[in-house]
Amino acid sequence: MESSKRSWAEPFKIKMVELLKMTTPQQRASAIKEAGYNTFLLKSEDVYIDLLTDSGTSAMSDRQWAGLMLGDEAYAGSRNFYTLEKAAKKYYGYKYLIPTHQGRGAENILSQVMIKKGDIIPGNMYFTTTRLHQELAGGTFVDVIVDEAHDPENLDPFKGNIDLEKLQAVIRKHGAQKIPYVCVAVTVNMAGGQPVSMQNMKALRALTNKHGIRIILDMTRIAENAYFIQQHEKGYSRKSIAAIVKDICSYTDGATFSAKKDALVNIGGFLAINDNDIYEEASNLVVVYEGLHTYGGLAGRDMEAMAIGIEESVHDEHIRARIGQVLYLGEQLQKAGIPIVLPVGGHGIFIDAKKFLPHVPQDKFPAQALAAELSAGRNARTGDHYYPKLELVRLTIPRRVYTQAHMDVIAESVARVYKRRKQVKGLEMIFEPKYLRFFQAKFRKL
Ligand code: PLI
């Protein structure tokens, strides 16, 4: 990995700025209390540096903004759909494309088309919406990520990999006919933005081919995953990000995509697939949930901006600067002694809340107490809280939005909380929504 020492700068200059509201500590304390200590319930104008997510929060380029003016807002057959389809084919290589309003729209349709009641869907950890859609379609998710993913200190460069022995055991236990596909996320969000190696993709393809099982990619952060392959995997240092991205896709049968991350747009996603029958069924279903198969819940202008963003997302200098900024923040936090997930992943820094707040028991939500992330929900049968092995607070960095000075302010703020960490006591949940509870749950300070 190249050093994140900033002797280089971003490959863009700033043409327009958005002014931030500067708040006092008192204003911030009252805002977070009012939000039930859930960062998802804060008003954005009360937040100075917003690290809640890298989803839909990127800055679009002047070319993307110009693309908005090329919107062809016809109901059917918008010109922008064909531009998007062409870009997706060029950079990802899949045969058929169905736009959706965002990633979970594609997950819903894919799950309904491919999963039958009683099916098993192995995956390298899960993203919340992906797993929920699999379960709502009658499937059961089984985690087959490598054990290293659960160890925040393990320095393996590819902690997102699928454990092929775990997968084989799942196939033996349930039979290949119960497994409609293996779901592979690149990178693995919940493990800390950890990448999957190309070697793992190849081995997974060989194993699934043997059993006639499909591979569906969650390609939400695929350009970032490609950067780690370029930096760390033998034989890839001279390959372009664009070539690596296309290589990854070539080992799979289809993909769901949230364009709100890598593709540098504020809204959008798609389902891509090579199989004609699945495409036919999905393009029929998308009309029910999203819109006609040539816009899928998006305006023409959104599809144009997405097409341009897809191309910009695979520029080598863009991804180097993007991940370089994340690495820089990681180094500043490490210098301050903050326990973070290592190696630093692609889209943010994940603070190890169990180590940061060792005195706060897990049923008092140390990660939530520390900031935001409450991810796992309850066991549907027993009603117990799921206790993830990792209890993490994510500082997610939007793309092309903040400067190095913002990174320094973040590092200083976290270091200040770390110094007074003994005063943090944990939280009690006082409101729990039925689905994806971390978005809307409310808490009380202990
Ligand atoms: O937020 P969506 O519906 O466009 O995409 C859902 C989604 C799918 N897969 C992965 C790996 C994600 O990270 C993801 C959304 N992530 C969000 C919202 C995040 O804050 O990380």
Read off the pLDDT of residues 197-211 as tens digits, 9 standing for 90 and up: 999 999 999 999 999
Ligand 1 within 6 A of CB of 375: no
Model confidence at 378: pLDDT above 80: no
Encode pLDDT of 274-317 as tens digits: 999 999 999 999 999 999 999 999 999 999 999 999 999 999 99
Reduce the DSSP state of residue 417 to 3 states and report it. helix
Ligand 1 within 6 A of CB of 127: yes
Structural domains of the chain ordered from first start: 25-54+316-445 (3.90.1150.10), 62-313 (3.40.640.10)
Q: Measure 25 CA to ligand 1 centroid, in angstroms.
A: 31
Predicted confidence at residue 386, as pLDDT, reads 67
Predicted confidence at residue 256, as pLDDT, reads 98
Q: Which of the two residues, 86 and 386, has the higher pLDDT score?
A: 86
Ligand 1 within 6 A of CB of 269: yes
In the block, which residue shows the tokens 């809204």?
267
Model confidence at 98: pLDDT above 60: yes
Predicted confidence at residue 1, as pLDDT, reads 47
Model confidence at 63: pLDDT above 50: yes
As a whole number, mean pLDDT of residues 118-137 equals: 95
What does pTM read for this prediction? 0.94
Encode pLDDT of 418-436 as tens digits: 998 898 888 889 998 887 7
Q: Measure 423 CA to ligand 1 centroid, in angstroms.
A: 33
Model confidence at 5: pLDDT above 70: no
For ligand 1, atom 1, the nearest C-alpha belongs to: 103
379 band by pLDDT with thresholds 50, 70 and 90: low
Mutating to test ligand 1, I would choose from 55, 141, 298 the residue with most ligand atoms within 8 A of its C-beta, which is 55
Burial (Cβ within 10 Å: 0-12, 13-18, ≥19) of residue 141: middle
Predicted confidence at residue 380, as pLDDT, reads 59
In the block, which residue shows the tokens 């400067």?
403
Q: Measure 222 CA to ligand 1 centroid, in angstroms.
A: 13
Predicted confidence at residue 374, as pLDDT, reads 33
| Chain mean position to CA 418 | 27
Q: Measure 303 CA to ligand 1 centroid, in angstroms.
A: 18
In the block, which residue shows the tokens 């196939």?
171
Predicted confidence at residue 381, as pLDDT, reads 66
Encode pLDDT of 6-51 as tens digits: 667 899 999 999 999 998 989 988 999 999 999 999 999 999 999 9
Encode pLDDT of 213-252 as tens digits: 999 999 999 999 999 999 999 999 999 999 999 999 999 9
Predicted confidence at residue 373, as pLDDT, reads 35
Ligand 1 within 6 A of CB of 55: yes
Q: What percentage of the chain exceeds 70 in pLDDT? A: 95
The radius of gyration computed from the CA coordinates of the chain, to the nearest angstrom, equals: 21
Mean of pLDDT over the chain: 93
Model confidence at 415: pLDDT above 80: yes
